Structure formats: C-alpha cells, structure tokens
Structure 1
Amino acid sequence: MKLQKIDFEPIGRRGECPAGQSLLEAAHQLGVELVSLCGGKGTCHRCKVQVLAGRVSPPTENEKGTLSPQELKNGYRLACETYPLGDCKLSVPPESLTAPQRTQVEGLEVAVSPEPPVRAYHFELPPPSIEDMRADAKRVLETLYQQHRVRCCTIDLEVLRSLSPQLRSGNWQAQASIRGDEIIAIRPWPSRQLGLAVDVGTTKIAGYLLDLDSGQTLAAQGIMNPQIASGEDVISRITYIGKSSSAAARLQRLVIKALNQLVVDLCAEAEAKTKEILEIVVVGNTAMHHLLLRLPVAQLALSPFLPAVSKALDIKARDLGLRIAPGAYVHLLPNIAGFVGADHVAMLLATEVWQTGGVTLALDIGTNTEVALVSDGEIASVSCASGPAFEGAHIKDGMRAAPGAIERLRLVDDAIEYQTIGGAPPVGLCGSGILDAISQLHLAGVLDASGRMGDHPRVRTVGEQREFVLVSEEEREGWGEQEKRPAITITQNDVRELQLAKGAIRSGIQVLLDAAGHAVPEIEQVIIAGAFGSYIDVDSAITIGMLPRLPLCRFRQVGNAAGMGAKLALISQRQRVEAQRIANRVRYIELTTAPNFTQTFINATYIGYHESG
C-alpha cells in the first residue's frame, strides 16, 4: 500500500497515511483533532485547512460554494473533501481544532513604578474668535505649555488630519497623548492609554495588553508564529528567503497579520479598542527582529554574524502595517550579535541576573536557545541552535504542547506511567515528555551513554530501527479509541535528535564556563526561562546531561521572562535605558569559533555527560 507523508503545522504532527484517505481521515489517524461536527459529510464547514505544499485533489463544488475565491486561491480547503495526491504540508487554523495548543505567556512578575513614554494631558481651549485667529494646532501647542508646561514641537500627521473636527465636537477640550515632544493622539477626556508588549519567538508569539498609566496587565495571550510554515528554525527561514525575492515580504506579512489579530483578540478580552493602544514594545531574536522589519538576514548566518542594526529602534506602527492608534510607535529593544537579540536582553532585564554577585547561569530554552553566564560583573552570551526537537519536530511521535501530548513520564519496572495535557487520551509526546522518556530509559539502562538502545521487553525492531513502546496499540484502545491507532514510541532516531538538541545547549554552557575560567560547582544559580523551560523536569534534564549537575535548589524556572522584560520596557523609560546598558555590557561568543568546540559538542551529546561537573 502506498503511503503519503502528511505534515500538520503549526501543531507539529506528522506521519504517513495510506493513499485514498481524505485529509480529515489522515488528521484523525495521526491524532490531529480537527472539528468535524457533521462527521465528515461536508455540511458543517468547520474542518478548514490550508495546503502549504504538495498536490491535492481539485476543489469540489461544495468547496467552491463554501470557500471564497480568495480562500481557494490561498490554498484553503475542507479537509473532509480533500485528498492528498502525494506528500503534503498543511496549516491548521486554531478555529479548526477541537482544543487549542498550549502556549506560554505566564512568567515572573517584577515590581516597577510606571514611567511610560506616553503621557496624557487634559487641556481646554477658549473658543476661537475673530480676535484670536491662531491655527488650531498652534493653539493646542501653546495651551499645553501654558497649562502643563509641556513643550511639544510636532503633531503626528494623522492626528493633525482629525484635529480640527475633534476639537469642535469635543467643545474645545480634549486629551493629548504626548511621546517625547510629539503629540501622537488627541482624544476625548478622559481616555485610556494602553500599550502592547510582544515576544516574537521562532515558534510562538506572546502578547500582553497593559494600562500604560497603572502598569496593570489587562489581557495576555499566546499564538503560533505563522512563519513556521516556511521553516521551523531561523536558519531554515533564512534559507527560504534566499530562494525568492518575494519571500522576505511574505514572512513579514505573515507576522504582521498575526500581530494585528493578536491586537484584536487581546482588546476583545479586555473590552478595549484597538485605537487605545499608543505604544508597542517588541522583543525577539535578531532573525525575528529583522524579519519583522524586513531587514536583510543573510549576514546573520555568515561570519562574523553581524545584525543589520543593534541599537534600540522607534518606528511608527502604521509604517509596519499595525492597526492601532494612527500616531503610535513600536519600540524594539537592542540586539547584541549573531542570533542573540532583544529577547535575550529582555530576559536579562526581567531576571535582574546582571545585577547579581557570584556566578549565575541564565538560559532561555526554545527552538533557538540563548545562554548567558554572569560572573565577576561580566556578562557573556551564546546562541545555541537547539532546533525544533523540543517542539516535537523530527520526533516520530512528537508534537507541540496540545491536549493529548504526554508531558510527564516514568518507567516503573516494565510499566509506563504518564500524564497528558488536559488528561486527554495520548496522541504523542511534547518536549517535556520526550526529555522524561530519554531520562527514564537511560536510568533503566535501556540507553547507554552513546544513546544506543539496548534490549528491554518494550523494545522492538521496526524495519531497520529499534524503538521503545511507550503506549502500545492495545493500551490506546483502552482509552476508548474507536479507530485502531499505532503505538506511541521513542525510536533510535528520536534519541539521536534529542542528543543533538541537548548537546547544543550543554556545549554552549561549557564554552561560557571555559571562557570565564569557572567550573560547574561554582555556579550559584541557574535561571531557566522560556515556554519549554517552564515545563521541563529539571531532574530529567540533569540526568541526560543537558543541564549541569547541581543541587535542585539552585535552579529557578521563571516562565516567559522575555515577555516580562518587554512589559517592563513598555511601562518604564528607565527600564529602556537599563536594557541598552545591558546590551552594551554583553560579550557575545560565537560557539563555532570557540577553542575545541567540535570536541566539546561531541562530548555534550553523550547522555549523562557531566565531564566538568
């Protein structure tokens, strides 16, 4: 029977399905729970997917009547009526899933007094007369100085276009929102001043809606970065851009569209208006930063790995296509070098590790992992290409953190005890579950230090590859699965993928320690940030040699610290100054040029590697 490879993004679920199955049948076989209220009859129109790559059957008459011409042109189809004609890559919109993927927005909270870059001032003008024929704009500028001693030089053009009718409809009083020496909004008094903090990750985007005056968080949401359809890591996206002159513009459009939808969703949650948002702060690694601004990225992957720009930037939101207040700005925190960007600066800002004495290690674990070592008042940082394995990519039964993903796992005698997200029937493994599985198999002696899989009652050989059965076909039937579904396993290739990912992180740590002349026991504190880092079992990470062997009391998991840093920079000008100081202090180390890096990396791929600790 001919098999076709189907890849469901951004969930990260992929596998082989027999030819002749619809995309809906393939989804259900692979554990992707598409909405299908009509049972696949084509009447509920809820199983919409987008075909990103590959050939599929032509649209049916039902699809032509249900989907708009633009949707069909963009590759949208009803999964129940579409049949793959070969290998396919699909994007699944959130509304087509029965349950959403888990994204990390929570993180540590840091108290800071609001000192926003945008200030609100109430003013009242006397009605104009034949004796006072000053222009409306001039009267506003002079009145603000007279009433508040605020000297403004400019009024945003879009604000100026609506100024005259707004003053007259408001009976000559209003609220001016001033940023620096520029009036960026004129609105009725009193009006809320809101801001948006955004962490644009390689895989996920986290957004926070705040009241600029109080610093209160009104809403927070996480979504997938839609650019993932064009590459699961930064190098893949840079390669994608190099193949087409229009690719960079397309990736920028994707992220801008996602940010605009995030704005709408956050405002709906907070019962706010999008035009009330007067400031946005964005953080991300240098690649995400450059793709957002459509700056060149090829040089990021070439020695000496220089960004196009490193200083903090202030850009009109409308120039990027962001639909908030017309005069609002986007502030981007400074980058450092290579792929160490504004998100790393934001993480250091939020955790305040740069102010600590002693030796502190700080990691923001993700598809692209940044690691900083703070010692003797110095900060050194590296970027580790840990890759998408922690997101479930390149793992046979891997998936991202969604209901049914195994997130905790223990091997007790010959039995597997596991916990799934949402308590749902097991579908696959997310990053923390993969980490636990490798750790448990190593402790049980199934995996040796080289990663080779040995004998065990649950080990079997399929084709030319060994695999360890975590949940058998029979055990899945015990969950009441109506269709017979394949076992969930960890294969020998999965182990190798995990070794590469954890080896990248552990070698980065070792390079930093060697450069600073420190040994593992001297590390007094380890800060673990990032969505993946929030959910891992630290003991498992130590067992496999991804993290240094230290007492558990020295580890602190802080959630989305980069997002918290973005929030701090949003409400406090002083924090923006601190962010620039941090960026100026960081010494970037390029891993590939570090002494003996190749051997360090090879050593770090060994399971249980703790050579220097």
Structure 2
Amino acid sequence: MRDIRIIKGRYIVPDEETALKLAGYRSGSPDWETGRARFQELEPEIKRHIQPKAALAFIEDRQERGLFIILTLGSAVTRRADAFFDSRDYLSGVLFDAMAGSCLFAFEKQLLPQIKVICQEKGCGIACRHEAGMDIPLSVQAEAATAVAAERTLGVRVTEDMVLLPAQSMCIVFDLSRDPSVFRLEHDCRSCTQNHCPTRGGKTGAHIPCRNGQSVWQTLQEQGIFVPAPCGGKGLCGKCRIRVCQGQIPVTAEDAAFFSAADLQNGWRLACRAIPDEDIEVIVPTCETNIFASLGSPRDGVKEPADPSHSYGAAVDIGTTTLAVALVDMTQRRIVDTVTALNRQTRFGADVISRIQAANMGRGRVLQQAVQQELLRMLQTLLHRYQGLQVTRIAVAGNTTMEHLFMGYSCSGLGTWPFSPVSFGGETVPAVQVFGKDSPAWMSACTVTLLPGISTYVGADITAGLWACGLPGKGGPALFLDLGTNGEMALAADGRITVASAPAGPALEGGNISCGTGSIPGAICGADMLHGRVQLRTIADAPPVGICGTGVIEATAMLLKSGILDAAGKLQEPYFHDGFPLAQRADGDTLRLTQKDIREIQMAKGAIRAGMEVLMAHCGIGSEALAQVYVAGGFGYYLNPEKAAAIGLLPADCIGQAAVSGNTSLAGAAAVLTDERALADMQYICRIAEENILGNDDMFQTLYIQYMNFDISRPLP
C-alpha cells in the first residue's frame, strides 16, 4: 500500500504585499492605499474560510524516485470568492482570491520542515523542487492526484483540462536524492531564471562583452545573438531586455518607461538604447534567446517513418514573424516532419515596411543572411533526424517582401508607388545560387522554387493558401483570411477572386504587445475566466513566457465579458494604469495586458474587419451569404471563432462557417513538391485575382474607425 501522509496547516495568514501584487496593484501607484484598505477589511473573513490541508505520497516503484504533494485551502474559500464575483464585486473577488493565493504560498513554507522530517524517516533527501504548470507540464497533476488519492484525502479533483478544483490548490513534485544530507526544498537561485530578483545568488543567460561607444543591440547582432525587437530598435516595444553585470550604462528615457526604479538599479536596460561610454559586460536572459517555436503544421510533432529509397523535398514558409520547414516524401506525397522557428529578421522591425526600409538602407544582405542561416539550421535539423535522406527540391512560399529578402533581390521598388517588385515569384533556380558557395554539399543537386504571388502586398503565401483551400471553388462565396502581420484576405465568388491587404500590424501575432511572443512553447494561447479566476492555456502546456495572437484575442474577450474592459476599449481601474495581470513568467516578470496593448488590438482587428466588409460590399455579398470562412496562418491553430466574433474580428453570423485551416502557406508549398499541377494552378489564381487597394478606399477609412470599438451588444461566449 502506498505511504500517504496527511498534514493540516495551522495559523495561516495572508501576506499583504504579496496579495496586492497578485491582484494587480503596484506599490506606489494611486490605487495601492485603496487596495490596502480593502485587504484589511477582507483579512478576518479569509481567515475564517481557509482550511489548509496537504497530502504527500512517495513514489518508489520507478527508476526516478519522487515525492508528490497536493496542497489545498479547501472549498469554502473558493465559494466565498465566487460569491463576490456572482454579486459583480470584481475588485473584492480578485483581491480575496489573491489573498488566498498568498495563504497557499505560506502553507507551503509551513510544510517544508515537516517534509524534511518525513524524508529523514525514509532515509532520503530532496534533489529538486518542481511546480506543475511552472517548470513541468500541468498533466503531472493527474498523476499526483492519483498518487495521493486527492479526492478521498483532500476533496480535490482534476478536471479534463488538468485544473485542480477547488481553485486554491497546488501540486508540487520533489525529485528524491539518495543522499539524506541533500535538502533542496526551496527555490535554488543557481538554476533560476528570475533575473529581476534582487536576492538572486547567481547569474543566468549569455554573458556578452560590449565595446565603448557601440550600441549593445548592434554588438549582439554582430555576434549572432538574437534578441526580439519588433519596433526595429526604436525603443518602443521594450522587448530587447539585457542586464549590465559589469560596468555602467546611463539610463535613457526609454529605459525609464519600461523598467521600475529597482530594475534600473539592478542594471536592466533596453539593448537598442544602450550605448556604453566604457567597456562593459551584459547578460542576455536565457528566456530571450530560447525562441525555437513549436508550430508549423497540423502535423507538427508527429514524426513519420522515412524510406531512404524515396525522393524527398522541403517545403518552406517564410512568414514575417515565423518560419516553418516541412520534410516532404515526394514519392508518397506526404509530410514526414516539421520544424518551426521565429524569423530573426524581427530585430529589424515587426512589419514588412520596416524590413523594406532596412534593406534599402544597406541592410539587405544582413536580412538575407538572417533568414537563410535559420532556414539552413532548420533543414539540417530535419536531415539529422532522418539520416541518409537526400533533399532534391525546395519550394518556398512567403509574401513578396519575404521572398525578395530571401533571394537577395533589391527592395527599392516595394516601398513606394507604383510598386515594382523584381519578381512575383514562380521561378526555379539552383539551391547553391540562392544559399551561396558556403551551402552544404547536399544542395549541389537541389533546386529552389519560389511560389508565385499576386501583387506587392498579396504574395505567394496567399496564393498557396487559396490553392490549399480549393479556391476558387464550385460552392458558394468563400472568404479566405490570413491573419498575420499584414492581414491579407481574399473573397472567392462566381469564379472570381478579389484580394486585399489590410494594414493590421503585428498585434495578432504577438508583436507590439508588451508581453507578446510568437507561437512558441509557453505562449499563452487561450484565456477564460471561471468564477472570477483567470484560466490560461499555453502551447505545449509549458510555463508561460508571453502571449501569442490567439491568446490576445481570448484574453480581450475575457476582459470584455467580465466587464473589466468596456466597449470603447478602456480598462477599469486598477488595471488602466498598470495593466491586467495574466501570469508570472519564470524570470519573475508579470505578464500583463496593458491599455496600450488593447489599443494595438483595436487597430489590428479594426483594419481586418473593415477590409473584410469592403471586399464583401464591392462584391455585393453580405456576411450571411458566405458558405465558408477559412482562417489561415500560424495564428489560426488555436483560434476560437466565437472569441474572435466576441471582439468584433469576425461577423457574428460567420461563426458557424469559420474553419481553422492552419498553415496553408506551408501546405501549398508542400503541394508544389507532390502535385505537378499545383504550380500551374497557382499561376492561374494569380492571373484571375483582382486587388482592392484598401488605402485608396474611402469606405475602408470610415469602417476602420467604426470597427475599432468592441461590439458587446450581444452575449459573449
């Protein structure tokens, strides 16, 4: 029989500062004293409701010995918090919930000495501490609940989404050591990535020497070290964070806008604004350099067997934000495996205009190398997984600017009227001509085919997507949306295709969002509020590192539904000034959706929705007549059409017709390798497509302003 221990907590009290910070208050802000007063009113009540209890179980029937622990404050505290939210007293509900959270932390600390005594009885030590949902997947909670018989011992159960109920419960896993003298029960600074903590005992991340008088951002680029900079190094996004560990860098106005006084004192700066007047050394946080992504196609992560006797090719999607490469079995006409990564060109700006400007200012070769080197690494990763395979063809899809930068073409004709690209694609050339003399030996017998694009701002990625969705088809009118950085769209009806590109900006791919990121492990991809508590989903169930486009949409819909965000896009206090807290990142930062973020979302969804309405109006088709709405791009993997309609991104009467189509650009590139008719079909699409220039359309300008507001006149899902 498994050894299960039950421990009850005693004299647990909430910590004021911890609770206020968890509730979204910031020390020194105008609302801090208001929060303190409310805390004091609620403190006697929370003491009456908490019933702290824990269950422990040792697992010794496997090679890795472990200790599972589930802690809970009981269901009474959850019911009391629910009562606040049911009565629409959201501020009290949020603070009461945060106070309970601080009690849970206090309970864990109270348990540690007892855990040590129990381990001494067992003749073992503690090697490492893990917390479900932080540094190990949430799915471990089901195993832990079974181990401690949580429903019987604690009244705690695990939902299908791996959430513990009652809400104020927590799962901890300890790795056991055979050395009884080892007790790493608490946080270990030496292995921690919480770089903002002033008490940390060590340094993490890459240590980089920087020369006097040269921008730190430029130094990092020269050394091939990637730091995100969607604003193109203008000091506007706050994402190129580094910490000075040796020497001094003056504080700029941009630094002061993004870092607290304590952060600045601890050496945090923006790399793009940091120009040292002496030789220094900086740390690039590990979490900033770990950007390999997890999404590429619906089959990403599903690795198929490969036969070396078959012919193989590589399908490539060069997105403005994300790169994807698929290994394609051309004999069996199937995708074998896929890898993806963030496009390292983002350090020159999040949008194509910034990239065009950078290329025209002499950075074209650097931009080309940034994407080519990353694609080569991804190709080598795939070939390493499948030893003995030979790739003989590469098919590349991307918007017109991305294809120009990849090929090294001049971008001088892309940024101004009358827009004269060097090529709209469609050509096939030797791979060594593209990748240069230093390309791998296997490329000597390989070709590269660029898929054809429609116009300067509706490129080959859209052509590939239209083909992959079977457009133009024989059914009713269909709308195709690629909700990436550029917001391209197409309406297919009566054998015709009308296309447009809406100036959406990168918000729906996480760009220009204060805690935004691409679709990488740990990106918040879903959000909801259950009984007043935020419930988040992350890609790969990894600890949260930022928020991607679908997470942005769902979080916005959640705030609208809860009344924290109004129809005009204004956050209620105390969130207007400090933002709404979503989660805490491993480096100690709180991931917040700020008022500025909401404005970025409004502009993005306003442009896309207005573009859709213009296309439908010019074709004489109402949204109710659409037979299908295809939502494509990496953005579309986790998109909930109801949530998209809730913020006004999609028309409400299109929810039933909306189909998430995934990375259709990559699918179209793969088709060129496996279907001899695909390339000709795409060239036909380019010939019949007509472009509507939204910037010249008065209707678009009017609708853009109208659709910036959130329509909450109907019930939200």
**TM-score of the two chains, using structure 1 as the length reference:** 0.69
Q: Secondary structure at the match of 1:300?
A: coil
Over 3 Å counting, the alpha-carbon distance change for 1:197 and 1:98 in structure 2 is closer
Distance in 2, matches of 1:240 and 1:344, equals 24
Distance in 2, matches of 1:71 and 1:374, equals 43
Kindly state the Cα deviation for residue 26 of structure 1 after the two structures are TM-superposed.
12
Tell me whether 1:28 sits opposite 2:194 in the alignment.
yes
Distance in 2, matches of 1:57 and 1:486, equals 22
Q: Secondary structure at the match of 1:195?
A: strand
Question: Out of 240, 254, 279, which is 2:393 matched to?
Answer: 279
Kindly state the Cα deviation for residue 101 of structure 1 after the two structures are TM-superposed.
3.3
- Letter in structure 1 aligned against 2:374: A
1:571 matched to which residue of 2? 674
Deviates more, 1:397-406 or 1:250-259: 397-406
Over 3 Å counting, the alpha-carbon distance change for 1:307 and 1:441 in structure 2 is same
1:498 matched to which residue of 2? 601
Over 3 Å counting, the alpha-carbon distance change for 1:211 and 1:226 in structure 2 is same
Q: Which has the higher contact order (CA 8 A, sep 6+)?
A: 1
CA contact (8 A) 1:357 1:377 kept: no
Tell me whether 1:101 sits opposite 2:293 in the alignment.
yes
1:397 matched to which residue of 2? 515
Kindly state the Cα deviation for residue 443 of structure 1 after the two structures are TM-superposed.
2.3
1:46-102 Cα offsets, whole Å, 9 max, x none, are 74679899745999xxxxxxxxxx998556999896677352159979998678433
1:522 matched to which residue of 2? 625
CA contact (8 A) 1:48 1:79 kept: no
Tell me whether 1:258 sits opposite 2:374 in the alignment.
yes
Question: Out of 428, 436, 444, which is 1:314 matched to?
Answer: 428
Deviates more, 1:94-103 or 1:203-212: 94-103
2:303 matched to which residue of 1? none
Q: Secondary structure at the match of 1:202?
A: coil
Over 3 Å counting, the alpha-carbon distance change for 1:51 and 1:334 in structure 2 is farther
- Letter in structure 2 aligned against 1:265: T
* Runs of 4+ deviating beyond 4 Å: 24-27, 38-42, 48-59, 70-84, 89-100
- Over the aligned positions, Cα root-mean-square deviation in angstroms equals 3.7
- Letter in structure 1 aligned against 2:558: Q
2:312 matched to which residue of 1? 194
1:101-137 Cα offsets, whole Å, 9 max, x none, are 33332269xxxxxxxxxxxxxxxxxxxxxxxxxxxxx
Tell me whether 1:353 sits opposite 2:450 in the alignment.
no
1:480-517 Cα offsets, whole Å, 9 max, x none, are x7x8x454322211110111111121111111111101
- Letter in structure 1 aligned against 2:580: F
Deviates more, 1:280-289 or 1:192-201: 192-201
Matches for 1:70-85 after TM superposition, within 5 Å: 85=249
2:480 matched to which residue of 1? 362
Over 3 Å counting, the alpha-carbon distance change for 1:25 and 1:491 in structure 2 is farther
Tell me whether 1:301 sits opposite 2:415 in the alignment.
yes
Q: Secondary structure at the match of 2:472?
A: helix
Distance in 2, matches of 1:95 and 1:417, equals 23
Distance in 1, matches of 2:666 and 2:434, equals 21
Over 3 Å counting, the alpha-carbon distance change for 1:572 and 1:553 in structure 2 is same
- Letter in structure 1 aligned against 2:375: L
Over the matched positions of the two proteins, sequence identity in percent amounts to 30
Question: Out of 364, 382, 405, which is 2:500 matched to?
Answer: 382
CA contact (8 A) 2:504 2:604 kept: yes
Tell me whether 1:587 sits opposite 2:707 in the alignment.
no
Over 3 Å counting, the alpha-carbon distance change for 1:519 and 1:74 in structure 2 is closer
Kindly state the Cα deviation for residue 566 of structure 1 after the two structures are TM-superposed.
0.5
1:371-391 Cα offsets, whole Å, 9 max, x none, are 110111110111123222123
- Letter in structure 1 aligned against 2:684: R
Kindly state the Cα deviation for residue 553 of structure 1 after the two structures are TM-superposed.
2.7
Kindly state the Cα deviation for residue 204 of structure 1 after the two structures are TM-superposed.
1.1
Question: Out of 339, 356, 359, which is 1:241 matched to?
Answer: 359
1:409-465 Cα offsets, whole Å, 9 max, x none, are 11345332222334344443222222112112222333232212235xxx345xxx3
Deviates more, 1:393-402 or 1:508-517: 393-402
The unaligned stretches of length 5 or more in structure 1 are 1-23, 32-37, 60-69, 109-189
The unaligned stretches of length 5 or more in structure 2 are 1-189, 228-241, 250-268, 273-281, 301-307
Deviates more, 1:427-436 or 1:350-359: 427-436
CA contact (8 A) 1:195 1:211 kept: yes
1:136-179 Cα offsets, whole Å, 9 max, x none, are xxxxxxxxxxxxxxxxxxxxxxxxxxxxxxxxxxxxxxxxxxxx
Q: Secondary structure at the match of 1:205?
A: strand
1:536 matched to which residue of 2? 639
1:550 matched to which residue of 2? 653
Distance in 2, matches of 1:48 and 1:349, equals 47
Distance in 2, matches of 1:397 and 1:26, equals 20
Over 3 Å counting, the alpha-carbon distance change for 1:72 and 1:312 in structure 2 is closer
Distance in 2, matches of 1:574 and 1:522, equals 31
- Letter in structure 2 aligned against 1:576: L
Over 3 Å counting, the alpha-carbon distance change for 1:366 and 1:277 in structure 2 is same
Distance in 2, matches of 1:264 and 1:337, equals 32
Distance in 2, matches of 1:512 and 1:237, equals 28
Over 3 Å counting, the alpha-carbon distance change for 1:71 and 1:298 in structure 2 is closer
- Letter in structure 2 aligned against 1:587: E
Over 3 Å counting, the alpha-carbon distance change for 1:57 and 1:594 in structure 2 is closer
1:176-232 Cα offsets, whole Å, 9 max, x none, are xxxxxxxxxxxxxx9643211111111111111123222232321112222111121
Tell me whether 1:467 sits opposite 2:570 in the alignment.
no
1:488 matched to which residue of 2? 591
CA contact (8 A) 1:200 1:282 kept: yes
Over 3 Å counting, the alpha-carbon distance change for 1:87 and 1:544 in structure 2 is same
Deviates more, 1:76-85 or 1:405-414: 76-85
- Letter in structure 1 aligned against 2:497: I
Kindly state the Cα deviation for residue 368 of structure 1 after the two structures are TM-superposed.
2.1
1:8 matched to which residue of 2? none
